[in-house]
């Protein structure tokens, strides 16, 4: 029991230290860079606004549907 507790404690400690190391190296994008990335995604992907139309098209083309549901606009400001 002591060995299992020690192993669990070590696993938790290593996870916490890895998470804090990741937080220190986290990068944030400048607003204009984020907007350029979003504009690139919006212009290079043909988005369907109806799930049913997307499902129908996917069936016809034997493809899968990637469903993204969000509140607001994909402009980087919401």
Map out the domains of the chain as residue ranges.
2-47
Read off the pLDDT of residues 14-65 as tens digits, 9 standing for 90 and up. Answer: 666 555 555 566 678 788 888 888 888 778 877 888 889 999 999 999 999 9
For residues 41 and 45, give the distance between their C-alpha atoms in angstroms, rounded to a whole number.
Answer: 6
For residues 58 and 37, give the distance between their C-alpha atoms in angstroms, rounded to a whole number.
Answer: 26
> How remote is the C-alpha of 12 from its chain's centroid?
25
- pTM of the entire predicted model: 0.41
Read off the tokens for 12: 């938790």
- 3-state percent breakdown (helix, strand, coil) of the chain, nearest 5: 60, 0, 40
């Amino acid at each position: 029991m002591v060995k299992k507790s020690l192993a669990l404690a070590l696993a938790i400690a290593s996870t916490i230290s890895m998470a804090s190391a990741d937080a220190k190296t986290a990068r944030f994008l400048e607003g204009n860079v984020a907007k350029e990335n979003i504009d690139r995604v919006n212009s290079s992907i043909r988005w369907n606004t109806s799930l049913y139309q997307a499902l129908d098209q996917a069936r016809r083309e034997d493809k899968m549907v990637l469903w993204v549901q969000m509140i607001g606009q994909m402009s980087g400001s919401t």
